[in-house]
Amino acid sequence: MTEEELASKCKQADNQARKELYERYGGSLMAICLRYMGNRDAAEDVLHDGFIRIFQSIGQFTYQGNGSLKAWLSRVMVNEALGALRKQNQLAQQEVLMEQLPDTEEAEEGMDDIPRSVLMKMIAELPDGYRTVFNLYVFEEKSHKEIAQMLGITEHTSSSQFYRAKTLLAKKINEYRKSL
């Protein structure tokens, strides 16, 4: 079944199509949830709630070519994760003046030598605010202005959260390499 046919049947509340949608995209959507939530239980809750939202709002989806369904599903899931984090009130981060930020610890070389699963675990271990801004900036390719609007923070807070996330990740990467 093509992406367009799958979306069309889901709009008609076809349970077989809904099952196929879940089976086809559930894994990649769970990966998004894990990136934002940091732990499996919270990610599973967000995935569940996200699929409820997807099935309730699939009528608003407009097919725009191959890949558009997955892109729409991903946006819904990111928004669901951000909503869950807001409910937990874990995005309320204080602004940090640039003078108060620690010196950046650069990763010594590229990251080709670090397994993806290890890198994703490092990202999941970041504090919630840092992890959220990092994910939006790196994986969703949002600007600090867009992130600020999405999270109800200032652009400066977004950029400082991203800076701190990069600093912590670099430290974790260097520690990982030393442990090898």
CA torsion through residues 137, 140, 142, 144, sign: negative
Intervals of CATH 1.10.1740.10 along the chain: 3-87
pLDDT in tens, the chain (180 residues): 999 999 999 999 999 999 999 999 999 999 999 999 988 999 999 999 999 999 999 999 999 999 999 999 999 999 999 999 888 765 544 444 444 444 444 444 567 788 988 998 999 999 988 999 999 999 999 999 999 998 888 999 999 999 999 999 999 999 999 988
CB 164 within 8 A of CB 130: yes
CATH number of 3-87: 1.10.1740.10
Topology annotation, domain 98-179: Arc Repressor Mutant, subunit A (1.10.10)
Start-end of CATH 1.10.10.10 domains in the chain: 98-179
pTM of structure: 0.76
Report the pLDDT value the prediction gives residue 110, as an integer from 0 to 100: 66
Choose among 137, 118, 134: nearest CA to 126.
134
Q: CA angle, corner 69, sides to 65 and 70, nearest 5?
A: 115
Query: Which tokens hold the place of 172?
Result: 């974790």
